[in-house]
Amino acid sequence: MDAHQRLAKRVAEEQDDILGTIQLIDGDPRLQGRLYEQLVDLLVEGMFLDLREEYLDGTMGRDEYVSTLSDLADRCRRAGLLPLPSRQP
């Protein structure tokens, strides 16, 4: 498994963990809000990883990848979703 696949797998697992945890913390709006923010960050990261996967597996050509990547980044910035917070080790 290459680095891209490991990262995509980790992001998907973290999304699943957060979705399961949010259901368990009903009644704690502060914690729910924090988990929701983390989930949104992971979903955004997942969109970029999915796009990269399409490029890496040849489904998408280089020019289309660059254009789509730029468009996605612009839309995320306008929505206030970028930059993503730095991950802590």
Q: Decide if pLDDT at 81 tops 60.
A: yes
What are the boundaries of each domain within the chain?
A: 3-78
- Looking at residue 86, what is its pLDDT? 64
Q: What is the pLDDT of residue 66?
A: 97
Question: For residue 79, which amino acid is it?
Answer: A
pLDDT at 89 over 90: no
Percent of the residues in the chain that have a pLDDT greater than 90, as a whole number:
80
Mean pLDDT, residues 32-56: 95
C-alpha distance from residue 30 to each of 19, 37, 45, 73, 79 (Å) = 16, 11, 23, 28, 22
Q: Which helix (H) or strand (E) holds 19?
A: helix 3-24
Band (pLDDT 50/70/90 cuts) for residue 75 is very high
